[in-house]
Chains A and B, each alone.
Chain A
Amino acid sequence: MSPSPTCPAAAPPAATPWREFLAGCRDEGPILLGVAPFGMIYGLLALRAGLGPLTAQAMSSVVFAGSAQLVATQLIHDGAPSAVLVTTIFVVNLRHALYSASLATEVRHLGARWKGLLAYLLTDEAYAVIAARVSRDAAAGRASPNRHWYFLGAGFTLWFAWQVATAAGVFLGAQVPDRWALDFTLALTFIALVFPSLRDRAAVAAAAAAGVLSVVAFRLPYKLGLVLAAVAGVAAGLLAEAHRP
């Protein structure tokens, strides 16, 4: 096969939007193994907390953020006021501002609709896959003009799996008796997320300070103890980092 005379440059043809989309779906796939049980646990606990099946399902598309949804479930279960719920979700989701900053230059050429859609789909798990693609492209020194379709494929795959997993959890949650104490899976899920992340002294200081204060301030009304403990934990982490030996 000889190279086309009209296209002497060595650059390979850009992948079509559809191919990019499918590649994004494929790369997101393995992550779903961890996400699906998480979504089911959310659906199950949302019913336990007293949310109706439709509201529980709606939260998965309206908020669409795993750990924030589980935190919200806990707060709803405890009867926390709306302001505390919204403030806590704000704090828990603030890390997404970092993802937004990191991808801003990659999507600056797109229209407002694309930016809105990709921002809506910008979860931890989608960002992980998208950031890997961006760094592969940076290493190779080129980026396909249809790369936003890859971003969409990764984001959409996670979104779809999250909705299905929630529905499965809502369905199962209606049939599990209380004595199984399945509400404890929430604390266990959080334990599984926190402990591997305690890799240095500052992170341990943040977790320890927040944990101790959450019990000391447990009796404060409106779940303010949680907010207070979280702020103190972040401050302790920053202090420990500043006073590194």
Chain B
Amino acid sequence: MSWLPVLAVAGLVTFAIRLSFIALLGRVEVPPLLTRALRFVPAAVLSAIIVPELVVRDGAPDLRLGNPRLLAGLLAALVAWRTRSVLTTIAAGMAALWALLALLPG
């Protein structure tokens, strides 16, 4: 199927969000609860995407240390926390994944 119509809707939604308060001429304030909630959106959404990518293997959770994506992801998290660099994190994580895929059985 073509994703273009869906992406067009998603694009309109994005544009509407960006235009919202600009179009309202600055007469409307953002509700304080929304401001506080929005702060947590990136961490919550991104974690909900990351964790299954690392933990779920062949359709089931795999928390063993023999899971290469879990190990490489944990190392990348440490690198991200220390360096705060996207490129360094990707380089370290991919190097770890390739090494683990080559070394670990199965």
Contacts and interface: CB of A to CB of B under 8 A. Distances in A.
Interface residues of B, number: 68
B86 A189 contact: yes
Nearest to A118: B22
B64 to A, nearest CB: 14
A184 B54 CA distance: 9
Contact of A119 (B19, B50, B84, B93): B19
A111 to B, nearest CB: 12
Interface in B53-88: 53-56, 61, 69, 72-73, 76-77, 80-81, 84-87
A22 interface: no
Contact of B17 (A72, A96, A226): A96
Interface string A96-120: 1111110111011000000110111
B43 A71 contact: no
A100 B22 contact: yes
B93 A191 contact: yes
A67 B46 contact: yes
A151 B32 CA distance: 27
A63 B12 CA distance: 8
Given A55-B2, A101-B30, A198 B7 contact: no
B3 A76 contact: yes
Contacts of B28: 101
Interface stretch (A8-16, A166-174, A206-214): A206-214
B75 to A, nearest CB: 10
Contacts of A190: 46, 49-50
B70 to A, nearest CB: 11
A214 B18 contact: no
Given A59-B7, A94-B38, A234-B37, A211 B29 contact: no
Interface string A124-150: 000000000000000000000000000
B13 A89 contact: yes
Interface of B: 2-4, 6-11, 13-15, 17-26, 28-30, 33-56, 61, 69, 72-73, 76-77, 80-81, 84-87, 89-90, 93-94, 97-98, 101
Given A184-B53, A185-B90, A203-B39, 16 more contacts: A67-B42, A89-B13, A97-B18, A97-B30, A104-B26, A191-B89, A192-B86, A206-B44, A210-B44, A210-B48, A211-B48, A229-B47, A230-B45, A233-B44, A234-B37, A237-B39
18 contacts: A41-B90, A55-B2, A55-B7, A71-B49, A82-B6, A100-B17, A100-B19, A101-B28, A107-B22, A118-B22, A181-B98, A206-B43, A212-B51, A229-B47, A231-B44, A234-B44, A238-B40, A241-B36
